[in-house]
Structure 1
Amino acid sequence: MLAPIWLRAAYRGVPTFLVTALLLGQSSMALAESPAQRQELVAALRQLDALERTVAGGAAQVPIQPGERYHFDYPQLLADLARVRAGIQAYLTPSRAQPRDLFELAGEYRTERAAPPSLPTTAQGRP
C-alpha cells in the first residue's frame, strides 16, 4: 500500500524526508497498540530498508563536484532515516525496567533440629 506512494513521490522529486513524515503521520495511531498497527510499523521499517539502500546507491553514484554551490546531503538524509528507524523500533520494543533485587538470597538452607523436649525427671507428689 505504501510502496506506490514512495515510488510516485520519488518520481516527482518530492523530498524523501517529507514523504516519510507524511506517511508516518497518516497512519492511524491509536493509544493502544493493535496487531494491524504493529504490522504497519513493521512494513514501514521494511520500506525504510529499501529507501536507505536507494539513498546509499544514489550517494555512491553522484560524486560531489568541486565548485558546486549546492549539493544534496545524502549523509544527513541517512542519519534522519536512522533516527526514524530508531523511533519506530523503540516503539515496537519498549525498554522495560529491570526488577530491583532488594535483598540478597540467604543461600544456607540447612538447619539443625532442636533437641526434643525431655520429660521432667522429678516426680510430682500426689495428695
Structure 2
Amino acid sequence: MSNVTSIRGPKHLICLALIAILPGVPTAVAYETTSLAILLRQLDQLERQAEASARLPHDDTPRYHFDYTRFRDDVQRMRQGIRGHLTPQRAQPRHPLPLSGDYRRGTEVNHERE
C-alpha cells in the first residue's frame, strides 16, 4: 500500500492557476517600469533636440514660429508625471497640470524701423 495521496480536484486546479498567473504579475510591473524609464530617456533626448533647434538662427518672415519654451514646459510636466508615478511621494490622488499642446506663436511685428 502506498501512503502517497493523489492531488486531484478543484484545489489542485486553483493552485496550478495561481502558480501560472502570479509569476507574470511582477514581470508586468517590471516591464512598465522599464518602459517608463525608456520614455524618460526619450523625453531627455527630445528636450535636447528642441533646445538645439531653438538655438538655430531663425527667419523672421514666417508669421508663426514654434514655441520652444511652452514645449519645454510640457516635456518637463510629462517627466514630472512619470517620475511621480515611478516614485510616488504619497498615496493621495493628485491633480496634474494640463499640457498646453499649442506650440505655435505669432511673430511680433516691429513697426519701428531704424
The TM-score, its normalising length taken from structure 2, stands at 0.51
| Structure 2 alignment gaps of length 5 or more | 1-27, 92-114
From 21, 36, 39, give the equivalent of 2:34.
Answer: 39
From 53, 68, 72, give the equivalent of 2:66.
Answer: 72
Q: Which residue pairs with 1:53 in the alignment?
A: 48
Structure 1 Cα separation of the partners of residues 53 and 67 of structure 2: 11
- Greater relative contact order, per chain length (Cα 8 Å cut-off, separation 6+): 2
From 71, 77, 88, give the equivalent of 1:83.
Answer: 77
Q: Which residue pairs with 1:106 in the alignment?
A: none
| Structure 1 alignment gaps of length 5 or more | 1-32, 98-127
Structure 1 Cα separation of the partners of residues 59 and 76 of structure 2: 22
Aligned residue type for 1:50: Q
Equivalences for residues 91-110 of structure 1 within 5 A: 91-96=85-90
Q: Which residue pairs with 1:13 in the alignment?
A: none
Identity of aligned residues (%): 41
Q: Which has the larger radius of gyration?
A: 1
Q: CA offset at residue 69 of structure 1?
A: 1.5
Q: CA offset at residue 40 of structure 1?
A: 0.1
